[in-house]
A and B are shown apart, each in its own frame.
Chain A
């Protein structure tokens, strides 16, 4: 069984500053994928970034980077230069192998202050 834990129910960040959203996971699968999704108030889940368990380097996609620490079983999302449009719910998720049968965490609500 896979489990995702997001311990921050809500976070504030000042516009233009960087913010880290925490995610820890637990799995017995030797190969797995880690994902971050954004869910704005409109409800649609938007895929942000992916990290494979065997990837040597941390994933980056524009202003998003994933700080993957395999020994600590953590996969934190770092958003650089926050924008007002980044205000949303953020979900960490994982799947066995690189598939998309996802187990989601409970989410973190990010609020960007002008």
Chain B
């Protein structure tokens, strides 16, 4: 296991379509985080899982966004009815209890 893996790396979609991203964390990490990063800005926290439980959700996570981690391993982030404002890099990170999360390379979403 070489790190956090995200798929796809790039996604172009038409406005109004649904998209789903996948994150595979480092295998022994029980904590998983999703962040969103727009161009020229720092990442913004979206949501946090400990094992399969979603423990925190940012107010940035509108009703069109849903995240799951069904068996406490990989996670998915779905965006329904995409809007142009959803265009961003979506970053996944994982960690055990220690400070300092390991990030994946992200999924770049472009909504046209």
Residues of A within 8 A of B (CB): 4, 33, 35, 37, 42-47, 50, 52, 91, 93, 95, 98-107
Contact = CB atoms under 8 A, between A and B. Distances in A.
Nearest to A99: B99
29 contacts: A4-B42, A33-B99, A35-B99, A37-B103, A42-B105, A43-B89, A43-B105, A44-B103, A44-B105, A45-B43, A45-B93, A45-B103, A46-B103, A50-B99, A52-B99, A91-B42, A91-B43, A99-B99, A100-B33, A100-B93, A100-B95, A100-B101, A101-B33, A101-B56, A104-B42, A104-B44, A105-B42, A106-B40, A106-B41
Contacts, number: 59
Given A35-B99, A35-B100, A47-B100, A103 B105 contact: no
Interface string B35-48: 10000111111001
B106 interface: yes
Measured as residues with beta carbon below 8 angstroms from the partner, the interface class of chain B is: 20 to 34
Helix, strand, loop or mixed for chain B's interface? strand
B48 to A, nearest CB: 6
Contacts of B103: 37, 44-47
A95 B48 CA distance: 13
Task: Enumerate the 5 nearest inter-chain pairs by beta-carbon distance, A residue then B residue, closest first.
Answer: A104-B42, A45-B103, A47-B100, A100-B101, A50-B99
A112 to B, nearest CB: 21
A102 B35 CA distance: 9
Query: Which of A93, A98, A100, A106 lies at the interface centre, i.e. has the most chain B CB atoms within 10 A of its CB?
Result: A100
A106 B100 contact: no
Query: Which of A50, A103, A104 lies at the interface centre, i.e. has the most chain B CB atoms within 10 A of its CB?
Result: A104
